[in-house]
Amino acid sequence: MDRDRVAREAPAAVPEEACETPRKRKKRVDQFDFSRFPQRKVALKFSYFGWPYHGLARQGNALESDSKQEVETQYPTVEGELFRALAQCKLIVSESECDYSRCGRTDRGVSGFGQVASLYVRSTGKFLSEDEAAEIAAGGAGEHGRVVRDEINGGRPVLLPLDELELPYVTMLNKHLPPEIRILAWSPVAADFSARFSCRSRFYRYFFSEEGLDIGAMRDGARRFLGAHDFRNFCRLDPAKQIQNFERVVLSVEINPVAPVVPLVGVSASPMGRWWQLELRGTAFLWHQVRCMMAILFAVGQGLEAPDIVDRMLDVETMNGKPEYEMACDTPLVLADSAYDEADVQWRYVRCPGREASNMVHLDREIGQVWGRLNTQAVLASALLQVLRDTRIPVPAEAGSAAAAAGGPPTGLWANCHARLAEAEQRKTTRAILGGGHTRCAGKYVPIAQRRRADPVHQRNEAWLKRKGSSKRAKSDHP
């Protein structure tokens, strides 16, 4: 037989990996050997638009059981997406083994521009022998990195690389995250760092339109929040938490105009187009505290309450029991920043400082695309509203007028008709402003101080304990 012909006809050698079934290849990927790589503690600074999600906090260890994954799929959370990306990038062994901590928990619909999480992730560093560690220590780590010993690495010495040689955490994660969630920067941190307990202050913004509001009165009311107060009448109480201390410190509070450089926020000649923001900084906040504060400020801005209602509600001896009122809308609220000691956190926004800024280029483009899509929707809604306002409809004639007698009602622009009807409705009923474009028909307005109140906190806590037979104690830091 012609050996050359046989060689030509014989199939080419197939690599062993190519012979594996897809199931086997997947199994090999799933069995990523984390023991080969050291872990290091980092802080991640990230942003998210909150309206597609049911809050920041994941549903337990969301990816570690089928039932939790099903809940997470039905009620997606920001952290659920974050941990899914961490798992896909093979950066964590598991959710329960990475010492995860968040700066502050935000609820459904609330956004974050400066949220922070700390956790252990895989590193490009390498394990050292004791002799190697001693040699590097004697010569100084300097240009090679630094040697650390963490409990998560079994106390073994690890040489961590220079930051610019570390895994590109920001780029890796953003490739696997939805566009509404972006990692902005990362920082190396010490083993005892906690995103929650190392935070010095949280800074919130609440955006709202001037339409229908007296900004001067709102500023008068807002300044009364400054300092240390008992905010039990400005939060949502969960008796299961058994909170005893409702004192929180507001470090600064202002109501300022949205910067005019922000494009397309509206026509500034109209109150609807003049936008403002409550800027609030504090050490920590209670559950729904900012939204409750904003609800009262809206009532003050509408002239439904005097600014001193804030003082009266902060006096928990006199107003011992939270009055019934509806919180402000969640969508305009943003956790804008989280402050840490400079010695604890040094944010890395670019991979090679001073030499390239590709990460910032990508972030700007990606967030700009989100802005473009949302702005397009706003323009479409504006166009439809303008179509309605330009529509001519039969205008109800005044009783006894010649037009009414002739039986031929005149026509007019809906814009003019709408203005008259809105003014007439305003005289008959009150529409409470809740922010985010939401209002509620309040009928005859009942002053806050005259409304029905919840039982005092200690009574509600005792009732819960009696009902559950528990002595559970816990704390909450929800905004």
- Sorted by sequence, the CB contacts under 8 Å of residue 143 that are 6+ apart come out as 162
Instruction: State the Cα–Cα distance between residues 396 and 408, nearest whole angstrom.
Output: 10
Query: What DSSP line would sit under 293-340, residue for residue?
Result: HHHHHHHHHTTSS-TTHHHHHH-TTTS-SPBP-PPPPSTTEEEEEEE-
Q: Tell me whether residue 477 is one of the annotated catalytic residues.
A: no
Q: How far is CA 223 from CA 1, 212, 227, in A?
A: 98, 21, 9
Backbone angles phi, psi at 298, to 5 degrees: -65, -40
Residue tagged 């009266």 (tokens): 312
Instruction: State the Cα–Cα distance between residues 389 and 447, nearest whole angstrom.
Output: 35
The identity of residue 27, as a single letter, is: K
- With 0-12 / 13-18 / 19 or more C-beta atoms within 10 angstroms meaning exposed / middle / buried, residue 160 is buried
Q: Do 123 and 167 contact (CB within 8 A), yes or no? A: yes
Provide the token pair at 471.
């002595």
Query: Which of 195, 183, 150, 178 has its CA nearest to residue 43?
Result: 195
Instruction: State the Cα–Cα distance between residues 117 and 183, nearest whole angstrom.
Output: 11
Please pick, among 30, 66, 99, 107, the residue that the annotation labels catalytic: 107
- Residue 245: count of CB within 10 angstroms of its CB: 9
Residues annotated as catalytic (active site), given as ranges: 107
